[in-house]
Amino acid sequence: MSIMATKSLRPGDLVEVKTPSEILQTLDSEGSLNELPFMPEMVSYCGRRFRVAKRMVKTCCYIDGGTNMRAFRVEDVLTLEGVRCSGDAHDFCPKRCMVFWRDAWLRKVQTDEVPSKCDSDGRTQLKTHLKTMSETGNYFCQASQILNVTRPLRRWERLVKCLSEVRTGNCTTLQMIGRVATWIFWKIRRLLVGKYARGTNRSTPSVDLSLQSGDWVEVQPMEGIRKTLNSKAQNRGLCFTPDMRLLCGTRQRVERKLDKIIVDGTGEVRLMSNTVFLEGSHCGCSHVAFGGCPRDEYTYWREIWLRRSAASQAPAPRDTARSKP
């Protein structure tokens, strides 16, 4: 099923997620609209109101061992403030992706309008129409389908998309200039002196701090973090990016432990070990991607880059020679 974009909604607009019966009318046999799935985790938001966070004029995705910037095939996708996927219907995936919404699933409202009513039967009927697994046995979700709903972003389009972000209200002109300047600085620095924070390890070490949600930690200083990285600035395949250095030496709280993720573009499950999210630590894409990205994903932190805060009572860390898969 294909419904054309309206582009009428902008960041800051108050919107209501349409009722289950209205959503159902927009979906194809796979529970998708223009190949973007309406996931079971989204049903609980029907009838509720949120502010628009960003219009998704582009998005990053992690494929083929690196971060790629792509454009949506149909430009009617946006995110809502504070709405992330719980992962409840996908084996409790802890990735906490921002949920993508088609314009057709939302309506602009005024604060004094009476909210729409959503009955339990309608929610149940909608849920039965949605799928969580593909025919290949992998998970079926917005992350797994991201390559189908987007296309590669051509080099000349990168500047156009930066202008689109300003035009749609995702950021101001000065903010975009700052993002582009940041990218240029790190691009030149990488060409002159190589990858930031690169280390000398061939096999990178791991530490198990047994961190849990709510634990307080201190981010290691840069000299300590470099000792954990290889020549690509990676620890067990996970890169320490330039923006992460801004938290070095600060005290942070653990948002949640990350033991697995659903891989962008495939739906496969990748197991993780000794990795966490920190509260409020989101990807600083402007350091590595021209103009940044509005997807606002969490930054992944290896536990070896952290140490328990003195105020946190917990067992001493256990060193491991090699990582788990």
Question: pLDDT of 237-273, one tens digit each?
Answer: 999 999 999 999 999 999 999 999 999 999 999 999 9
Q: Are residues 214 and 287 in the same domain?
A: yes
Q: Are residues 216 and 116 in the same domain?
A: no
Q: Are residues 119 and 231 in the same domain?
A: no
Residue 312 in this model has a pLDDT that exceeds 70: no
Residue 2 in this model has a pLDDT that exceeds 70: no
Do the domain assignments include residue 200?
no
Q: Are residues 86 and 218 in the same domain?
A: no
Count of domains forming the chain: 2
Q: What is the pLDDT of residues 47-63, one digit of tens each?
A: 999 999 999 999 988 77
Do the domain assignments include residue 20?
yes
Last residue of a domain, one of 154, 179, 194: 154
Put simply, whether the predicted model's pTM sits higher than 0.85 gets the answer yes
Do the domain assignments include residue 186?
no
- The amino acid occupying position 309 is S
Do the domain assignments include residue 49?
yes
229 near 220, Cβ under 8 Å?
A: no
Q: Are residues 144 and 223 in the same domain?
A: no
Do the domain assignments include residue 268?
yes
Q: What is the pLDDT of residues 145-184, one digit of tens each?
A: 999 999 998 888 999 999 999 999 999 999 999 999 999 9
Closest-CA residue to 88 (of 148, 146, 42, 48): 42
Do the domain assignments include residue 195?
no
Confidence of residue 3 (pLDDT cuts 50, 70, 90): very low
Q: Are residues 122 and 245 in the same domain?
A: no
Q: Are residues 128 and 229 in the same domain?
A: no
Last residue of a domain, one of 154, 177, 193: 154
Q: Are residues 230 and 98 in the same domain?
A: no
Q: Are residues 150 and 18 in the same domain?
A: yes
Domain that holds residue 87: 14-154
Q: Are residues 150 and 76 in the same domain?
A: yes
Last residue of a domain, one of 113, 134, 154: 154
171 is written with which tokens? 């950021």
Residue 105 in this model has a pLDDT that exceeds 90: yes
Do the domain assignments include residue 50?
yes
Do the domain assignments include residue 242?
yes
For 123, phi and psi rounded to 5 degrees? Answer: -65, -45
Q: Are residues 146 and 215 in the same domain?
A: no
Q: Are residues 149 and 226 in the same domain?
A: no
Closest-CA residue to 318 (of 258, 273, 272, 251): 273
